[in-house]
Structure 1
Amino acid sequence: MDSYEQFSYVYDRLMADAPYDKWTELVLNECSSGKVLDLGCGTGECSLKLADKGFDVTAVDLSEQMLSVAYEKATRNNLNVRFIQQDMRELETADQYDVVTIFCDSLNYITDEQGVKSTFTRIYDHLKPGGVLLFDVHSMHKITNLFVGHTFASNDDDISYIWNSFSGQERGSVEHDLSFFLENEEGLYERFDEVHLQRTFVVEEYSAWLSDLGFRNICITADFSDHSPTETSERIFFKACKKG
């Protein structure tokens, strides 16, 4: 059973304040039109915003349930997005793209080095010459100091959750244990639980893996700024170009 099966239905509520416009702006800074491949698209918020801007968007996610929610939203808003259920480590489509994105720390769900390398390899093959890869990941600081050992909670009228984060077995990994309480039609609360494992790697490792594959002009910034990462940066952004 997909680990997002129930989580997908409350995901948009939990991500209501996520900076989707800022992620969209990163693509617009590269080009104003063209083909975009949005990997780890979740419920499709970035995909739909890019489609609304006139991009030809293909959106990929491993979760059938997430894609179902995304498809419903695209239909409701009369937006044309191609949705594909696929593991980004085994990416295979018939097209090449001007921009490939992995936003909202989706790459952190690939928790082994070989899996990240495989993802980068498949992306490189799917980029047009001169195409751009854009992605962000949690910093090591965020994983180890802001997630591990901390509890997050929310108590709204119709949905509540408790979120505990524990250290994973590997360096830079974290296990998120989430318990959700949803109000049903009878006014009673139903509980469901999710476990999500994420892992990040240091900036130098991501950069080396990209370089080894032939990516060039690798630019690394932090926290939606133009500044280089610091020891307290929380979200690391990468831009890497395929040779033209």
Structure 2
Amino acid sequence: MSYQQFAYLYDELMKDAPYDEWVQFVKDKCVNYNVTGTRLLDLACGTGELSVRLAKDGFQVTGVDLSEDMLAVAQAKAEDEGVRIPFFQQNMADLEGQGEFDVIGIFCDSLNYLQSEQEVMATFSNAFQHLSDEGIFVFDVHSIYKISHLFINQTFASSEDHVSFIWNSFPGESSNSVEHELSFFVLDERTGKYDRFDEIHFQRTYPVQQYSDWLVETGFELLEVCADFKDAKPSTQSERIFFVAKKIEKAI
């Protein structure tokens, strides 16, 4: 998918996201599972907010995203922050030629934007192929509870002087999926008028056991499943599920 105008508004709308907690989560898991290398592949890196933070924390980051607009924002951000990060435009379900990494991450529920089981499994296979033997694969997804109870049929809105939005969420066609209809109103300082931009975004998730089975089928050993930036196992009302895995055998 392409984020189009959304790419240039994303950081403003996500300014309260717990980015520091994602960085700390990665660092903690590297310590817990004895990952000493620092080569990190940030899949679906978006505007590079986490890529930059991880680079400033000592990781040798490579960023990959499908959206050219997102990558343009990410590149400018890396240059402004004085960190060197190579960014590549690729679909994580079609990833190739990126070399080997000690950590591969798919953060900020980006995996949920894949529209089919086949794309998720292809992404897992690609992560396997690009992961070092001693490395870890880390990703987070929305829980079924969050999709069903906190997104579907809900409306979110924000009103600021320079940018406002209305966000409506509806059931998707597939099970455990949601369609987000977003309308942005952005102030044009030259005219004093607001420009409107509309976007539709799709997200789909699966049961924890399904993700676990796919990882094992791909050749990973599932090291850990936890929720909401805590080490505790997911509950029926957990919102964000984290998976940590490593390679154990040749991918199928």
TM-score (norm 2): 0.94
Partner letter of residue 25 of structure 1? Q
Q: Is 1:157 matched up with 2:161?
A: yes
Secondary structure class of the residue paired with 2:9: helix
Residue of structure 2 aligned with 1:38, choices 17, 38, 42: 42
CA distance in structure 1 between the partners assigned to 2:84 and 2:170 by the alignment: 40
Cα distance per residue 1:114-167 (max 9 Å; x no partner): 000000000000000021000000000000111000000011111110000000
- Give the match for residue 6 of structure 2: 7
Amino acid across the alignment from 1:214: G
Contact 2:227-2:239 at 8 Å conserved across structures? yes
Q: How many residues align?
A: 243
Supply the distance in 1 between the matched residues of 2:229 and 2:7 (Cα, whole angstroms). 26
- Which of 57, 76, 87 is 1:72 aligned to? 76
Contact 2:222 2:243 in 1 (8 A): no
Match of 1:231 in 2: 236
Query: Paired residue for 1:63?
Result: 67
Whole-Å Cα distance in 2 between the matches of residues 10 and 148 of structure 1?
A: 23
Q: Percent identity of the aligned residues?
A: 52
Q: Which range is displaced more, 77-86 or 214-223?
A: 214-223
TM-score (ref. length: structure 1): 0.97
1:173 matches 2:177: yes
- Work out the CA distance in 1 between the residues paired with 2:73 and 2:92: 19
Identify the residue that residue 17 of structure 2 maps to in structure 1: 18
Residues of 2 paired with 1:53 and 1:243: CA distance?
Answer: 28
Is 2:104 the partner of 1:100?
yes
2:175 is paired with a residue whose SS is: coil
Q: Mind listing any 5+ residue stretches in structure 2 that lack a counterpart?
A: none
In 2, Cα distance between equivalents of 1:80 and 1:130:
25
Task: Tell me if the contact between 1:3 and 1:194 (Cα under 8 Å) persists in the aligned partners.
Answer: no
Q: Distance in 2 between matches of 1:191 and 1:35?
A: 40
